Amino acid sequence: MRPWGRNRAPIALQLVALLVVSLIAAQVVTFAVVVLMPPPPRAVYRLEEVAQALKGGSLTPRFGRPLLREVQAAPPPESANPPFPGEHARRQLAALLGVREADVRLTQHMTFPGRLHRTLGIGGAAMEVRHERIMADEFGAGRRPMMAFREIGPPMFGEFSAAVRHSDGQWVVVQPQPEPFPNDWQRRVLSWLAGCLMVVAPLGYLFARRITAPLGQFAQAAETLGRDPSGPLMALSGPAEIGAAARAFNDMQVRLKRFIDDRTAMVGAISHDLRTPLARMRFKLEGAPGPVKEAVLADITQMEAMITSVLAFIRDASAARPRERLDLLSLLECLVDDAGDQDLTVLEDSRPMTVDADALGLQRLFGNLLDNAVKHGVRGRVRVFQEDGHALVEIADDGPGLEAGELERVFQPFYRAEAARTLDGGGVGLGLAVARSIARAHGGDVVLVSSAAGLVARVRLPLSAG
């Protein structure tokens, strides 16, 4: 058996590694999004474009989102913060529109960073009086600002609202269209994240599968042990914890098999040794006179038959036979044909079922049940079908059946029902016990069910995994 726990990281360490790798991958994705996909610049609107839209002209600016124009009875509410871009921009907009300054509203909904934001916090008048100096501070002394506010007015960034009052008292309001969700940049970011997820998710799944796969293999090994205690020891690979559990599991299997072998050998030795005193008793009774002789000889014959059955059962149980893929329907049809009994039939609605089993063991199992069906029920009918992932074989007879209290007792070794004792067919009461033992050794079971027509023996066996 390969050594466990060597060069195998514990599950806790592997889980921590998975979390660390996931965190690093998430940070790498975030860094890539920030560096490779910076957010788009804010939309910029010129006062000439705003004035043209207020006059009823084009609503499509050069560098910003399309504008919305609507007519309202009241002007849009002004911001609670000091107004920006201030009176100077509003005067310029009024001049471009050819109306009074009192009939114009202009509000910029934005927050400026750094010193520019602190300067604007003084009030709208500060922007009007000192905008050149602010731009000089921001762009460096002696340099001309990017845009001459005195000539064309300050630009409008992002969200704003502009309104002009007509002669009828109605206000024409222009503002940028609401930014859709998701916008182009957000769609690009979501596409990037989806692509990264498609790359990282399979790797994470494979890593997690590598951690949890040995648990499934361990469960399969336990299922195999339940079907075949004498099977090979498990050979799994996995974390250190799985290795420790596997060592304990294999040790348990070895001890269990040794215990069964010891008990089987002890019963076999006792049964074998009983044959010697029985032979001496028979020899001494051969020459004894009196009517008791025949009765005692009959008891001795029955005891010898029981011992012979026990030895045959122990011999078959202790012999390790290879298991192979078998078709239950074909095996039962062969048993029925070999029996040559017209009272045994295989029903036409039976279906082929494949199982992994010991052929000789199944032959003895179904042979015992078929003999009981003919011996105690006169006529036997066999049906093979599938139920809940198992192969089921029903052997029904037309006999008197059994009482409810004896449906389980008849599986006890050497127990015979009252009706069976009156028959002359022999038997020592091991047939059903042997049948159940073989079925359970294959991971299945045998039960008896009373029906209106007689008795039904139901054999359940796991289907072949292949």
Residues 6+ positions from 431 with CB-CB distance below 8 Å: 368, 369, 371, 372
β-partners of residue 385 are 392
pLDDT, residue 448, reads 92
pTM passes above 0.75: no
String of DSSP letters for 282-315: HHHHHT--STHHHHHHHHHHHHHHHHHHHHHHHH
Alpha-carbon distance of 217 to 24, in angstroms, equals 31
CB 227 within 8 A of CB 60: no
Residue with tokens 């498609």: 198
Question: How confident is the model at residue 151, as a pLDDT?
Answer: 45
The pair phi, psi for residue 283, each rounded to 5°, is -65, -40
Residue 434's pLDDT is 84
- Can you tell me the distance from the alpha carbon of 108 to that of 120, in angstroms, rounded to the nearest whole number? 12
- Hunting for tokens 């998430």 — which residue is that? 26
Quick one: how far is CA 279 from the chain centroid? 64
**CA torsion angle for 157, 158, 159, 165 (degrees, to 10)?**
40
Nearest-CA neighbor of 162 among 96, 93, 112?
93
Give the span between the Cα atoms of 457 and 459, in whole angstroms.
7
- Rounded CA-CA distance 35/54 in Å is 39
- Residues of the chain scoring pLDDT < 50: 1-7, 82-83, 111-152, 423
Residue pair 188/77 in contact (Cβ under 8 Å)? The answer is no
The domains of the chain are located at 44-179, 324-462
* Span 324-462 CATH architecture: 2-Layer Sandwich (3.30)
DSSP 228-274: -TTSPPP-----HHHHHHHHHHHHHHHHHHHHHHHHHHHHHHHHHHH
Q: Which two tokens stand for residue 327?
A: 């078709």
